[in-house]
Amino acid sequence: MRLPLQKKVALAVATASLAESRPSFSSGTTGQRSRRWLPSSDKIRGVNLGSQFIIEPWMAGDEWNSMGCGSSPDEWSCVQSLGQDAADAAFQTHWQTWITANDIQEIKSYGLNTVRIPVGFWINEDLVNDGEYYPKGGLQYLDYIVGNCTELGIYVIMDLHGGPGSQFPGQQYTGHVVDSPGFYTLDNYERAYKFLEWMTERVHTNPAYYNVGMLQVINEPVHAGDYPSQAADMIANYYPGAWNRIRDREAQLGTADKDKLHIQFMGDAWGSGNPDQNLPDTTFAFYDDHRYLKWDTSIAATQDSYISAACNDNRGGSDIVIGEWSISVADDAQYNSEFDIRNTDANNDWYKKFFAAQAQAYERSGGWIFWSWKCNWIAGFNEWRWCYKSAVDAGIIPQDAASAAGMSPC
């Protein structure tokens, strides 16, 4: 999740039993299971597992403080400050408790069919260079979460959320807040390619990963308007390279066409350029659109304007998934009488409508993935505008995700 620049267990699911008890899915074919399947509703309805494998302190302040990282702006700085061994111990406790098997079960119980899992390249520790500071030991917890999703039939989008060198300046989601993006080099592209190859092989050979059907090659890269040369280089070189390395690894593994991964890129609306421009193929390409109405300055910060904007939003076709969105509103309006949620239920009915209007709009495309499933005490209170679980508890989001669009005020 992009903040404004100025704010800048061992696997519990035995793989043998998973292989024997794979769930059945609707694939759009004559009953054959395909990696290219979409949920049987033909709409993705999901949540991000934000701050599980890349902690963003803005949305997990209490958690960050409990780990001893309170004065650090990102994971890199926390590891550097605590030292590797102490940091690894602190992160292990976090990985065990932030998202649990109970969370995955609850996600399923709310009618959600998809999770997007943001990870940093450093979850493959072989890709970390000397002099870089990232926590170690997270892979077994990723295996555990993905395995639980597979057991429950939840579709998984694996998202390279933090790239080598950091793909966007000033952002906690990269794992290392930097002044200038360092991702856009041949060496860092190569490390990202190796991550994608490694994850592709893991998806096709590890039964716990059976439900991973989509692999996003990089989250929220720089905008062409701010970093034209870096964005152009990514479109010209990194994107086609990523496509080829994933497909080549699948060819080496003998992956059948029906089992190949969707490969996902940030779509045109993100502003980095046309992702298809240099791709050798677009068969089973997907596109990610992040739609935060709170940062759309063309929308007046009023209840009527936000509802109107949501109702009239058209994000594109079924190959576009709104991979991040929320029901938060503009910073300078969020505590005024129309939008305040602190110690008041006065605006709850409006937020229900705001959620439903966006869900309806995004289901005109391929579907939606809310940011995020869980957070804790943003700005010192239970800020459920960012937190799906808390918003359900507050009665804002319905317990049946499929019903949301039908509740729209549009």
Q: What positions carry a catalytic annotation?
A: 220, 324
At 120 the three-state DSSP class reads strand
State the CB neighbour count (10 A cutoff) for residue 134.
25
Longest dimension (CA), the chain: 59
Q: How far apart are CA 360 and CA 238, in angstroms?
A: 34
Q: How far apart are CA 13 and CA 73, in angstroms?
A: 34
Q: Is residue 124 within 8 Å of 195, Cβ to Cβ?
A: yes
Q: Is residue 307 within 8 Å of 265, Cβ to Cβ?
A: no
Q: How far apart are CA 62 and CA 78, in angstroms?
A: 15
Nearest by Cα to 141 from 106, 98, 192: 98
Q: How far apart are CA 112 and CA 110, in angstroms?
A: 6
Helix (H) or strand (E) holding 254: none
Concatenated DSSP letters for 359-388?
Answer: HHHHTTTTEEEES-S--B-GGGS--GGG-H
Task: Write phi, then psi, for 228 (nearest 5 degrees).
Answer: -60, -40
Q: How far apart are CA 115 and CA 117, in angstroms?
A: 6
Q: How far apart are CA 387 and CA 369, in angstroms?
A: 12
Burial 86-124 (b: 16+ CB within 10 A, else e): ebbebbbebbeebbebebbeebbebebbbbbbbbbbbbb
Which residue shows structure tokens 């970093």? 227
Task: Write phi, then psi, for 125 (nearest 5 degrees).
Answer: -65, -20
Peptide bond into 372 cis (omega under 30): yes
Q: How far apart are CA 211 and CA 150, in angstroms?
A: 5
At 408 the three-state DSSP class reads coil
